[in-house]
Amino acid sequence: MAGASVTAARRELLGLTHEELVASLSPYIDRSFRVDQVERAIHQRGVGEITEITALPLELRSRLAERFVVGRPRLLESQTSEDGTVKVLFELGDGCTIEAVDIPEDKRRTFCISSQAGCALGCAFCVTGYWGAGRNLTRGEIEGQVLALRRLRVGDARGINVVLMGMGEPLLNTENVHGALERLSQSISWRRMTLSTAGVIPGIQAVARWPRRPNLAISLHAPDEERRDRLMPINRKFPLAELIPALRRFPLERGRRITIEYIMIDGFNDSLADAEMLARLLSGVKAKINLIPLNHDPVLGESLMPSPPARVEAFRERLQTKGWLATVRRRRGDRVSAACDQLRAPHRAPRGFRRSNLSF
């Protein structure tokens, strides 16, 4: 795997569009089809070094390797949970660190990847926000997490699902996320990729205009404006009164639904009355509801604790009686802080939470 630091004389190929790749490689290759060979090797086969592109003549591989590098993130460490979930810490070319997660299952595996090196949204339940904002990732850095995980864990792309549910808000980095997903779609179906957003309405509208779209998931987490304001400061800019109509308008292909993600916090948003409010709020949205018992972390304090299993099940049953498809997300990777909202890339100082958000 290529290291995170490369010389200035060598350009990174990962993240380039086809047109950019042609412009970069053309001066050094003898035939135009060689660009397609390089492109397939990087994005479909997932090679980590130019010298591994065996379709190219050895002399050409050596010549290109002097000028270009694939540009993968560098693995710093990995942690494996008892359930087989693996969390990895990557270092990027400028020293920024991000985390990604590999969640293996019987017939598939899910890669949870990051879109930013941190997060500025400051959601009260999310540990990433506790460590503060970071820059947008490039197209290559987003795709590179999947390619690096493939190389580390499985080899090829068969049976892989990709979810943008790691560090950062994908729709504050819409252009690079789109470019990365376009590249990933060469080996992974759009139906096997999911983008999760806290509800950035202009970004949702932008995704609606894409010719091909991933599955859309919305971090909702409260059935009314006042409680969502307290959990998610972004609600003050993009309130439920505007978000829900945007979801009703979102174009869905046949058989697809928006996933509503709902974190369940003990005594805060988990009553049967809350389930009925949520059912009414989502009227007219073609959706399924995924209930997520809060993954507690010491930095959250004692005011944010997960709902008891019996209350989660009663909430789910009440939603079903109202006609909604509701499921409970199985906890994976929490023993290594790899579960939902636990990613932090801790090689930096935390900023903490604004206390007003934690007064529950």
Q: Which of 15-19, 204-208, 313-317 has the lowest mean pLDDT?
A: 15-19
- In the DSSP assignment, the letter for residue 42 is I
- Grade residue 2 by pLDDT with cuts at 50, 70 and 90: very low
Residue reference for tokens 């890339």 = 345
pLDDT score recorded for residue 345: 59
Q: Which amino acid is at 165?
A: M
CB–CB of 114/167 below 8 Å? yes
Q: Which of 96, 112, 119, 340 is catalytic?
A: 340
- In the DSSP assignment, the letter for residue 223 is S
- Distance CA(68)–CA(70), nearest Å, equals 7
Structure token pair of residue 26 = 């053309």
Q: Using one digit for the tens of pLDDT, what is the confidence trace for 332-344?
A: 645 544 445 556 5
Residue 184, judged by CB atoms within 10 A of its CB (0-12, 13-18, 19+), counts as buried
* 99 against 4, higher pLDDT: 99
Residue reference for tokens 């070094």 = 49
| pLDDT of 306 strictly over 50 | yes
Helix, strand, coil shares of the chain, percent, nearest 5, are 40, 20, 45
Pair type for strands 11-12 and 68-69: parallel
Single out the residue of 53, 100, 50 nearest to residue 74, CA to CA. Answer: 100
pLDDT score recorded for residue 356: 40
- Identify the top-confidence range among 27-41, 157-171, 266-280: 266-280
By three-state DSSP, how is residue 68 classified? Answer: strand
Q: Which of 99, 143, 182, 261 is catalytic?
A: 99
Q: Within a 10 A sphere around the Cβ of 302, how many other Cβ atoms?
A: 7
- Grade residue 155 by pLDDT with cuts at 50, 70 and 90: low
Q: What spatial distance separates the first Cα and last Cα of the chain, rounded to whole Å?
A: 46
pLDDT score recorded for residue 218: 98
Residue 67, judged by CB atoms within 10 A of its CB (0-12, 13-18, 19+), counts as middle
Measured in whole angstroms, how far is the alpha carbon of residue 140 from the centre of its chain? 14
| pLDDT of 4 strictly over 50 | no
For residue 77, list its beta bridge partners: 89
Q: What is the pTM of this model?
A: 0.89
169 in catalytic set: no
| pLDDT of 11 strictly over 80 | yes
pLDDT score recorded for residue 320: 97
pLDDT score recorded for residue 157: 61
Mean pLDDT of the chain: 88
Q: What percent of the chain stands above pLDDT 70? A: 88
pLDDT score recorded for residue 52: 93
CB–CB of 52/108 below 8 Å? no
- Grade residue 1 by pLDDT with cuts at 50, 70 and 90: very low
Contacts 24+ apart (CB under 8 A), 211-215: 212/182, 212/185, 213/251, 213/253, 214/164, 214/181, 214/190, 215/191, 215/256, 215/259
pLDDT score recorded for residue 353: 52
Integer-rounded Cα radius of gyration of the chain: 21
66 in catalytic set: no
- Grade residue 348 by pLDDT with cuts at 50, 70 and 90: low
| pLDDT of 49 strictly over 60 | yes
Mean pLDDT across the stretch 110-133? 88
Single out the residue of 40, 45, 38, 39 nearest to residue 64, CA to CA. Answer: 38
- Distance CA(128)–CA(166), nearest Å, equals 9
| pLDDT of 131 strictly over 70 | yes
Domains of the chain listed by start with CATH number: 11-69 (1.10.150.530), 74-358 (3.20.20.70)
Q: Which amino acid is at 104?
A: P
Return the half-sphere exposure (C-beta side, CA atoms, 13 A cut-off) of residue 186.
19
* 105 against 301, higher pLDDT: 105
| pLDDT of 352 strictly over 70 | no
- Grade residue 6 by pLDDT with cuts at 50, 70 and 90: very low
Structure token pair of residue 118 = 């941190």
Single out the residue of 30, 74, 42, 75 nearest to residue 51, CA to CA. Answer: 42
pLDDT score recorded for residue 71: 87
Residue 248, judged by CB atoms within 10 A of its CB (0-12, 13-18, 19+), counts as middle
Q: Using one digit for the tens of pLDDT, what is the confidence trace for 281-301?
A: 999 999 999 999 998 777 777
Single out the residue of 358, 355, 338, 342 nearest to residue 119, CA to CA. Answer: 342
Residue reference for tokens 């932008």 = 206
- Grade residue 357 by pLDDT with cuts at 50, 70 and 90: very low
Q: Which of 47-56, 120-129, 251-260 has the lowest mean pLDDT?
A: 120-129
Q: Using one digit for the tens of pLDDT, what is the confidence trace for 214-268?
A: 999 999 999 999 999 999 999 999 999 999 999 999 999 999 999 999 999 999 9
